[in-house]
Structure 1
Amino acid sequence: MKEITLSPELTKEIAAIYQAMQEGYEQVSEEVGLTCEGCPDNCCDSYFLHHTYSEWAYLWQGLHQLDPEELERIVSRAKEYIAQSAEALAEGRRPQIMCPLNDNGLCGLYHHRLLVCRMHGIPATLTRPDGQSMRFPGCFRCQKIVKEKYKVETDAPAMDRSRLFRQLAALESRLFEEQRHLYPRVKKTIAEMIVAGPPSVPLPHCER
Structure 2
Amino acid sequence: MKEIFLPPELSSELADIYAKMQEGYDEVARRITMTCTGCPDNCCDSWFQHHTYSEWAYLWEGLRAVDDDLLERILKRAEEYVRESKKILARGERPQLMCPLNENGLCALYDHRMLICRMHGIPATMTRPDGQLLRFPGCFRCQEIVEKRYEDENEAPAMDRTPLLRRLAALENELLGNRRHLYPRVKKTIAEMIVEGPPRIPKSHCEK
Q: Same fold (TM over 0.5)?
A: yes
Q: Please give the alpha-carbon distance, in whole angstroms, between the structure 1 residues aligned to 2:90 and 2:109.
A: 29
Q: Distance in 1 between matches of 2:206 and 2:192?
A: 29
Name 2:52's counterpart in structure 1: 52
- For 1:188 and 1:205, how far apart are their aligned partners in 2? 21
**Letter paired with 2:58:** Y
Aligned positions, number: 208
Query: Does the 8 A contact of 1:45 with 1:97 survive in 2?
Result: yes
Q: Distance in 1 between matches of 2:113 and 2:10?
A: 16
Give me the TM-score of the superposition, normalised by structure 1.
Answer: 0.97
Q: CA deviation at 1:58?
A: 0.3
- 1:25 to partner: Cα distance: 0.2
Partners of 1:28 and 1:122 within 8 A in 2 = yes
Q: AA paired with 1:24?
A: G
Unmatched 5+ residue regions in structure 1?
Answer: none
- How far is the alpha carbon of 1:103 from its aligned partner? 1.3
Alpha-carbon shift at residue 207 of structure 1 (Å) = 3.4
2:144 matched residue in structure 1: 144
Question: Equivalents in 2 of 1:98, 1:206: separation in Å?
Answer: 36
Moved more, 196-205 or 120-129: 196-205
Q: Distance in 2 between matches of 1:84 and 1:148?
A: 38
8 A Cα contact 1:184 1:201, kept in partner: no
Using the alignment, how far apart are the partners of 1:156 and 1:176 within structure 2?
Answer: 38
RMSD: 1.1
3-state SS of paired residue (2:28): helix
TM-score, length-scaled by structure 2: 0.97
Percent sequence identity over aligned pairs: 66
2:11 aligned partner: 11
Per the alignment, residue 37 of structure 1 pairs with 37
Quick check: 1:125–1:161 contact (8 Å CA) kept in 2?
Answer: yes
Distance 1:205 1:188, change over 3 A: closer
| SS of the residue 2:65 aligns to | coil
Moved more, 185-194 or 129-138: 129-138
How far, CA to CA, are the matches of 2:161 and 2:93 in structure 1? 28
In structure 2, what is the equivalent of residue 102 of structure 1?
A: 102
Aligned residue for 2:28?
Answer: 28
Q: Tell me the CA shift for residue 91 of structure 1.
A: 1.0
Matches within 5 A, 1:183-194: 183-194=183-194
**Structure 2: tracts of 5 or more residues without a match:** none
* Structure 1 residues 124-150: Cα deviation after superposition (integer angstroms, max 9, x where no partner): 001111211111100000000000000
